[in-house]
Amino acid sequence: MEAIRHARKHFTNLEDGQLEDVQHVMGLLAFPSDTNLYPYKDLLDESRWQMLVQQFRHENFKLYQLNTYSVFTVALQAGLSALKTPHCYKTDSERNNDCPVCTQPLNILASTLPYAHCSQSRLICQISGQSLNEHNHPLMLPNGYVYGEKALQNMAQENGGKVICPRTKEVFNLKEAEKVFVM
């Protein structure tokens, strides 16, 4: 009875949702901790302690203007996002071994991050690793794969005018390769 008197005295000026919460909490006084009645069972559940811990942390971070992510996590995500391309999610044989995002653990971490925005890009020959430019023109084989002119010429010299596509292992004459123009 003393609890009811206390509630009537001190809880008269509550806002709309607060009165119902106070009534539920006051009802806890009348039920044992192992009750099966709703909402008291939920209010006495052990998982509420974890929720209370999370709520405390959230309010503490808001109070002291702290971020919920560590500085390391933010820096790692920024770096992965700057390097991430759609090429990082192809099959293992098509990934770049030198790209950190293409490695398995970082690839999983970067899966939810946006792709890097590249306003300027370079084409690289899959065979030689050299840039494809005005000094090393890109040539397309009849199967659609593009390689550097220098690499294909070297391969043709070694194989009597024939080039072998490294990806499909198809054999073509070097003369069948067409020059590709990139704008």
Residues 109-155 pLDDT 10s? 898 998 887 667 788 898 998 989 889 999 999 999 999 999 999 99
Classify residue 131 by its DSSP letter. B
Q: Does this model's pTM top 0.75?
A: no
pLDDT averaged over every residue in the chain: 86
Between CA 133 and CA 182 the distance in angstroms is: 9
Q: Which residue has the higher pLDDT, 31 or 157?
A: 157
pLDDT in tens, 55-65: 999 999 889 98
Element (H, E) at 157: helix 149-158
Other CB atoms closer than 10 Å to residue 147's CB: what's the count? 24
